[in-house]
Structure 1
Amino acid sequence: MKTLLNLIWLVLSGFWLFLGYLLAGVLMCVLIITIPWGIAAFRIGVYALWPFGYTTVQRRDAGAASFLGNVIWFLLAGWWLAIGHIVTGIALCVTIIGIPFGIANFKLIPVSLVPLGREIVRTDQPFATR
């Protein structure tokens, strides 16, 4: 079932959201100092491409550096990506078939706003953090 949901998601919004994260990651990698944010954008982009069967959990070792990094991320790219998730989620919720995908889009908003200090894990092992 997860594979079917992921395939439908890929066609309806996953590919376009992935391209948005890819663009954010490339723009972040242009400057040397923002490469960690670019890597985070690529990681979340893959999650946005194939989200069913995965979830995000807080990392135990995240600290003040993650907080400061998330503030910078939010200002540079996070709010743009969150707007993309909101618009796509609303558009998908217009139809009954799209409602689960719209809800999945809304669940991606927190990780698009503050990605550092979170880890993407399989849903069958949500407590397996580093």
Structure 2
Amino acid sequence: MSPVSLLLNVLWILCGGIWMAAGWLIAAVIMAVTIIGLPWAKAALNIAVYTFLPFGYTVVDKPPGTFGGLFALIGNIIWFVLAGWWLALGHLIAAVILAVTIIGLPFAWAHLKLAGISLWPLGREIVPLDGAYRTPR
């Protein structure tokens, strides 16, 4: 992780990023209570870590055939109804509040990225920025 990403992550945590990460952890725990919710719990836990330290990482689509197609579509629709919309709404509200100041603009942009993955998390993965554009094996 670059020094700039480290500094932005520390400022992110101090400026309230920890609260949205806590929201993702709550969603992961709720989903993990049942066996049916385990795929969403894993996705929510991965995104909770990404929400805690968003700078220096990005979200990419998984290669076809890993967990895509019809199962990911159905899973994402269920996710959207149960948890995705309120997590995305939390990120959007935080982005609007942070965008009021010039200092908050990078954090507002990070919240907007997180709002996008909040709506449709299955079939995507979080990778370091330096490895984001590798060709799949």
Comparing 15-24 with 119-128, greater Cα deviation is found at: 119-128
Alignment correspondent of 1:96: 102
The share of aligned pairs that are identical, in percent, is 49
Alignment correspondent of 2:90: 84
CA offset digits 1:10-53 (Å, max 9, x no partner): 11132001100011011111111111111111110000000100
Q: Which runs of 5+ in 2 are unaligned?
A: none
Aligned partners of 2:88 and 2:102: how far apart in 1?
Answer: 23
Q: Which runs of 5+ in 1 are unaligned?
A: none
Out of 41, 60, 70, the residue aligned to residue 64 of structure 1 is 70
CA offset digits 1:82-126 (Å, max 9, x no partner): 001001111111111001111111111111110000010010111
Amino acid at match of 1:110: G
Q: Which runs of 4+ in 1 moved over 2 A?
A: 127-130
TM-score computed with the length of structure 2 as normaliser: 0.91
TM-score computed with the length of structure 1 as normaliser: 0.95
Query: Secondary structure of 1:33's partner?
Result: coil
| Structure 1 residues 40-59: aligned runs within 5 Å | 40-59=43-62
Query: Secondary structure of 1:31's partner?
Result: coil
